[in-house]
């Protein structure tokens, strides 16, 4: 008992002796604290060793991470056209290839950061990753070519973003008390607000600075320096504010464990609802990359082609239009998350996936054939795309978190869900980029529209299959009950 108190006092945490640490075969460490939980905003339960202000610092770190991710993706088209002055018809292929390589590095980065967290702690990984992303934002406008400079910066940024994303889930397990639903909701809201803030506010910073400093691309250079530098400073501050790990975890071979989880997760597709959840991850993550990368690229390309902007100079019209399209769609989509969350909780989960598929298809397919991507009608389509994206994410996660899944399979299914999403980004981004150049600008969105239609068909098939199976089981149990009474 005395040794335990001495150890905990060194860590400056106070955890009761009733805390139980269990190491499951999934190599994930879970803590069960039976002391009364602390509350954030008098409502959200936290583990007793987590101060509400520490939780707020963690939520702010999530907000900052998503802000940087959306900002660098949204301004990438300006780097291509303004900084590099690219006038060739391969900007779509460049965008898709960069996303492909970055996602491949991210898959490796997630595993590497998981091992690093065992040594420097989760808050250490989160801070380092934000600092890396801030450094990349500062460096982005200084590049002079796509390969290798732009690629290298995007790969380093992907290393940082993969670690911050992985730590969101890991730190949620660290701070959440009970089921963790409210903490998960806070993370989702912080992510959405980060994306919205980047689209509505930060996208306009280069435009305002370009008006004040009209020489060359000084506005783009100063905005990236200010935003990236501020993020680097906040990363250092957040390290001292975020909650420490409650205990030191034993070193684990995460590479071997990851392969085992994928194998186990793939075997779980015998349950159709899990397979549907995996499919939703494929298209939901693809939605994310298409909206953040190809929407701004299409808008910039539109203004260059109609003569409103020229390659080699910053396009203020493109920045303003991209900000409006992305920002307003994110606001509406964020509000729609309540509907999909309630639908996934109180209605058959397949219905929520079906609605998300219908809404996404209703936005993607007509928008793909738009003549003017900046029109008010296009804004309506983009809003539907964003709502479908958020709906697919929420309903898909609900599909792989039902009570029909064994507890020991949670980690494996979660890892496979994320892996399938990464594959979606790799396939859709590369294929969409090539079709963007070779066929039409809306091709990436048409691919997503077809994918959403497939999700509608799959959700109907899974629901009907489950309905028939449950009806047969109910009928069989009824007959068995009657025969036993006789």
Residue 74 pLDDT grade (very low, low, confident, very high; cuts 50, 70, 90): confident
SS3 category, 362: helix
pLDDT, tens digit (0-9, with 9 covering 90-100), for 431-443? 999 999 999 999 9
Check residues 461 and 182 and name the one with the higher pLDDT. 461
> Which DSSP letter does residue 176 get?
B
Residue 178 pLDDT grade (very low, low, confident, very high; cuts 50, 70, 90): low
Q: What are phi and psi of 39, to 5 degrees?
A: -125, 135
User: Percentage of the chain with pLDDT > 90?
Assistant: 36
Provide the whole-model pTM.
Answer: 0.79
Please give the pLDDT value at position 483. 66
d(CA 236, CA 127): 6
pLDDT, tens digit (0-9, with 9 covering 90-100), for 194-234? 988 998 899 889 888 988 888 778 889 999 999 999 999 99
User: Percentage of the chain with pLDDT > 70?
Assistant: 86
Q: Is the pLDDT of residue 447 over 90?
A: yes
Q: Is the pLDDT of residue 94 over 80?
A: yes
Tokens of 58: 């963690």
Taking the CA atoms of the chain, what radius of gyration do you get in angstroms?
Answer: 24
d(CA 69, CA 355): 28
- Residue bearing tokens 């909206």: 291
- Residue bearing tokens 């069960």: 32
Sign, Cα dihedral of 300, 301, 307, 313: positive
Tokens of 136: 């990349």
Q: Which of these ranges, 313-322, 381-390, 425-434, has the smallest mean pLDDT?
A: 313-322
SS3 category, 39: strand
Residue 415 pLDDT grade (very low, low, confident, very high; cuts 50, 70, 90): confident
Please give the pLDDT value at position 262. 85
d(CA 304, CA 301): 5
Check residues 138 and 176 and name the one with the higher pLDDT. 138
Residue 3 pLDDT grade (very low, low, confident, very high; cuts 50, 70, 90): very low
Residue 31's beta-bridge partner residues? 21
Residue 400 pLDDT grade (very low, low, confident, very high; cuts 50, 70, 90): confident
Please give the pLDDT value at position 1. 44
**Do the beta carbons of residue 121 and residue 323 sit within 8 Å?**
no
Residues 6+ apart with CB under 8 A from 348: 463, 466
d(CA 396, CA 350): 9
Residue 254 pLDDT grade (very low, low, confident, very high; cuts 50, 70, 90): low
Question: What does the mean pLDDT of the chain come to?
Answer: 83
What average pLDDT does this structure show over 405-430?
A: 81
pLDDT, tens digit (0-9, with 9 covering 90-100), for 30-51? 444 456 777 776 677 777 778 8
SS3 category, 63: helix
- Residue bearing tokens 């994110």: 330
Q: Which of these ranges, 14-18, 204-208, 291-295, has the smallest mean pLDDT?
A: 14-18
Residue 462 pLDDT grade (very low, low, confident, very high; cuts 50, 70, 90): very high
Residues 6+ apart with CB under 8 A from 389: 284, 287, 288, 291, 333, 360
Please give the pLDDT value at position 305. 87
Q: Is the pLDDT of residue 5 over 80?
A: no
Please compute, for residue 133, the number of CA atoms within 13 A of its CA located in the half-sphere on the CB side: 32
Q: Which of these ranges, 9-23, 195-209, 253-267, 300-314, has the smallest mean pLDDT?
A: 9-23
């Amino acid at each position: 008992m005395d040794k335990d108190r001495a150890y905990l006092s060194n860590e400056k945490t106070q955890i009761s002796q009733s805390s139980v640490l269990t190491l499951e075969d999934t190599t994930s460490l879970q803590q069960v604290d039976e002391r009364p939980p602390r509350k954030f905003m008098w409502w959200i339960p936290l583990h007793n060793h987590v101060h509400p202000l520490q939780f707020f610092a963690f939520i702010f770190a999530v907000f900052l991470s998503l802000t940087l991710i959306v900002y660098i993706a949204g301004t990438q088209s300006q780097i291509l056209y303004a900084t590099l002055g690219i006038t060739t018809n391969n900007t779509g292929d460049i965008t898709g290839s960069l996303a492909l390589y970055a996602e491949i590095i991210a898959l490796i980065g997630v595993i590497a950061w998981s091992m690093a967290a065992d040594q420097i702690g989760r808050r250490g990984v989160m801070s380092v990753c934000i600092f890396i992303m801030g450094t990349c934002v500062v460096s982005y406008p200084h590049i002079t070519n796509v390969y290798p400079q732009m690629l290298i910066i995007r790969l380093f940024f992907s290393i940082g973003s993969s670690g911050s994303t992985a730590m969101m889930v890991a730190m949620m397990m660290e701070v959440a008390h009970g089921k963790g639903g409210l903490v998960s909701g806070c993370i989702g809201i912080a992510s959405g607000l980060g994306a919205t803030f980047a689209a509505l506010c930060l996208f306009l910073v280069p435009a305002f600075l370009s008006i004040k400093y009209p020489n060359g691309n000084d506005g783009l250079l100063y905005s990236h320096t200010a935003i990236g530098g501020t993020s680097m400073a906040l990363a250092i501050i957040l390290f001292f504010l975020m909650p420490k790990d409650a205990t030191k975890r034993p070193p684990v071979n995460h590479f071997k464990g990851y392969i085992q989880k994928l194998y186990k997760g793939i075997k779980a597709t015998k349950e159709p609802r899990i397979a549907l959840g995996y499919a939703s991850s494929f298209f939901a993550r693809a939605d994310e990359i298409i909206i953040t990368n190809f929407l701004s690229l299409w808008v910039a390309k539109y203004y260059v082609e109609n003569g409103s902007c020229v390659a080699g100079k910053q396009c203020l019209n493109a920045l303003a239009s991209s900000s409006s399209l992305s920002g307003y769609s994110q606001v509406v989509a964020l509000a729609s998350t309540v509907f999909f969350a309630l639908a996934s909780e109180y209605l058959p989960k397949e219905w929520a996936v079906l609605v998300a598929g219908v809404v996404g298809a209703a936005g993607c397919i007509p928008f793909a054939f738009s003549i003017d991507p900046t029109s008010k009608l296009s804004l309506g389509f983009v809003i539907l795309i964003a709502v479908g994206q958020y709906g697919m994410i929420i309903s898909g996660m609900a599909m792989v978190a039902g009570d029909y899944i064994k507890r020991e399979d949670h980690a494996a299914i979660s890892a496979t869900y994320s892996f399938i999403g990464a594959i979606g980004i790799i396939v859709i981004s590369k294929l969409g980029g090539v079709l963007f150049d070779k066929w039409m600008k809306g091709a990436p969105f048409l691919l997503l529209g077809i994918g959403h239609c497939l999700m509608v068909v799959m959700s109907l098939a899974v629901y009907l299959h489950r309905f028939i199976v449950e009806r047969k089981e109910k009928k069989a149990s009824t007959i068995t009950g009657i025969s036993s009474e006789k």
